[in-house]
Amino acid sequence: MSASPPSIKPDGALSRKVYRYPRSGKRTVDERWRWARSVAEFVERGRSGGSLERPKLQRMLEYIQDRPVDFVIVHKIDRLARNRADDAAITKTIRGAGAYLVSTTEAISTTPSGRLLPGIMASIGEFYSQNLATEVMKGMRQKAIQGGTPERAPLGYLNQRRFNDRRDVRTVTVDTERAEHVIWAFDEYATGEWSVTRLAAELEDRGLRIRPGPTTPARSLTVTGLHRLLRDPYYKGVVVFNASSILEDISH
């Protein structure tokens, strides 16, 4: 049966297919491809190619070692591995299983120079990832130095995004629903008449709830969370980013 081209997930998810052909004597790579059929597909949604610790990737590597497989099909090499060490480990496992690595968007031959290409591309991907991370951290630190909030705003504030002359401006604003509870907590704790445990219980009774996240619902502030809030220097105008304190005259 002729092998159809491997599918590419429209949402950009990491997708890997393994192909095999009916074994009947020795065949060339072209013959193997011509008679290949898909036997398994492994899709890793929302996971970075920067780590080997990906469940579907590990399942795929185990699969090809336990079963006769001729081709491992990926969308792009840098989606499989984004550093040279991981690329070498994955490639060694694939070759050790007697399979060929095939990219649907990049030409990789079975010649020595063709086998060198995935390693070069993995090195480029590693450089790109590290350089991007450096630039992002640099931008976030500069934002903090200027008195901005580079991360999720703490309880009592909301991150705000607006466009000014086509420029993306991200600031914080007071969360009117929760700010009064935070102010009350600081005022009452300063009297010395409240324990943190009792104060947390009172805040829950007053209706204070932490903002829900993408995967977490709104919930009460725990005693540990209240401890962190009362010690957070952000509430006195100190922005702490990447273990560095940046003192600015910030108006809250």
Q: Kindly report the backbone phi and psi dihedral angles of residue 217, in degrees, each rounded to the nearest multiple of 5, phi listed first.
A: -80, 165
Residue 193 CA: distances (Å) to CA of 85, 189, 190: 57, 7, 8
Query: What pLDDT shows up at residue 181?
Result: 96
Tokens of 185: 């907590």
pLDDT, tens digit, for every residue of 125-163?
Answer: 777 777 776 776 676 666 656 556 667 888 999 988 777
3-state per-residue secondary structure call for 1-36: CCCCCCCCCCCCCEEEEEEECCCCCCCCHHHHHHCC
Q: Where are the alpha helices (DSSP H) in 146-218?
A: 179-190, 196-206
In the block, tokens 């795929």 appear at: 60
pLDDT-based confidence at 209, cuts 50/70/90? very high
Q: Is the pTM of this model over 0.75?
A: no
Quick check: 158 and 173 in contact, CB under 8 A?
Answer: yes
Give the closest residue to 177 by CA, choosing from 222, 207, 144: 207
pLDDT, tens digit, for every residue of 47-76?
Answer: 655 667 788 888 999 998 988 888 888 888
The rounded mean pLDDT for the chain is 76
Q: Is residue 11 scored above 60 in pLDDT? A: no
Count of beta carbons in the 10 Å neighbourhood of residue 157: 21
Helix, coil or strand: residue 138: helix
Task: Read off the pLDDT of each residue in 112-120 and give the average, rounded to a whole number.
Answer: 70
Enumerate the β-bridge partners of residue 247. Answer: 238
Q: Is residue 103 scored above 60 in pLDDT? A: yes
Q: What are the structural domains of the chain?
A: 14-130 (3.40.50.1390), 146-247 (3.90.1750.20)
CA–CA gap between residue 48 and residue 79 (Å, rounded): 8
